[in-house]
Amino acid sequence: MAVDLSTIDTLENALTYHRERHTVLAGNIANLDTPGYRAVDLERRTAGTPGALATTNAAHIPTAPTADFVTSFDDGGALQSFDGNAVSLERELSKIDANRARYATSAELVSRRIAILRYAAGDGT
């Protein structure tokens, strides 16, 4: 029986996405006092959206959509201040914390998955 590593691949994409999203959200915090700056966020497109090539022959290798299927967008969730800045501190901080929790969850799932494989690879002790 083949070892199924697709779960780990999927979780790895999730980890990459949450790491990149954190970088973008950290940029919003850094620009709290930049005139005219508007908060941005990353959106993760699900697998099977444009970019994945169709396979018409059994010998074709399917292209796996990766975490690069991400687009940034103006999050529009904050009131604009006098200097044109639209970043809400509370909103960004809560996003950062929720994102951190999701990252931790994915990391934990990878660890569990590896533990299962290690258990199976051993003699079940």
Partner 1 sequence: MSSMDFFTAMEVSASGLSAERTRMNIAASNLANAQTTQTAAGGPYRRRDVTLASVDVPGTRNTQFAQAVRGVAVSQISQDATPPRLEYDPGHPQANAQGYVAYPNINPVEEMVDMITASRAYEAGVTSMTTATNMAERALGIGR
Angle at 101 between CA 21 and CA 43, to 5 degrees: 30
The single residue among 23, 46, 56, 57 that binds partner 1, judged by CB under 8 A, is 23
CA distance 21 to 28: 11
Is there binding between residue 34 and partner 1 (CB under 8 A)?
yes
- Residue 5 is given by DSSP the state -
Please return the burial class of 87, using the count of CB atoms within 10 Å of its CB with bins 0-12, 13-18 and 19+.
buried
Cα dist from 3 to 60, 92, 104, 120, whole Å? 21, 40, 25, 10
CA distance 93 to 98: 9
Is there binding between residue 14 and partner 1 (CB under 8 A)?
no
**Tokens 């796996």 identify what position?**
64
Nearer to partner 1, 6 or 56 (CB): 6
The single residue among 10, 24, 77, 88 that binds partner 1, judged by CB under 8 A, is 24
SS3 state of residue 30: helix
Which of positions 78-107 make contact with partner 1 (CB under 8 A)? 89, 92-93, 96-97, 100, 103-104, 107
Least distance to partner 1 from the beta carbon of 2, Å?
A: 21
Is there binding between residue 47 and partner 1 (CB under 8 A)?
no
Least distance to partner 1 from the beta carbon of 66, Å?
A: 7
Footprint of partner 1 (CB under 8 A): 15-16, 18-20, 22-35, 37, 40, 42, 66-68, 70-72, 89, 92-93, 96-97, 100, 103-104, 107, 110-111, 114
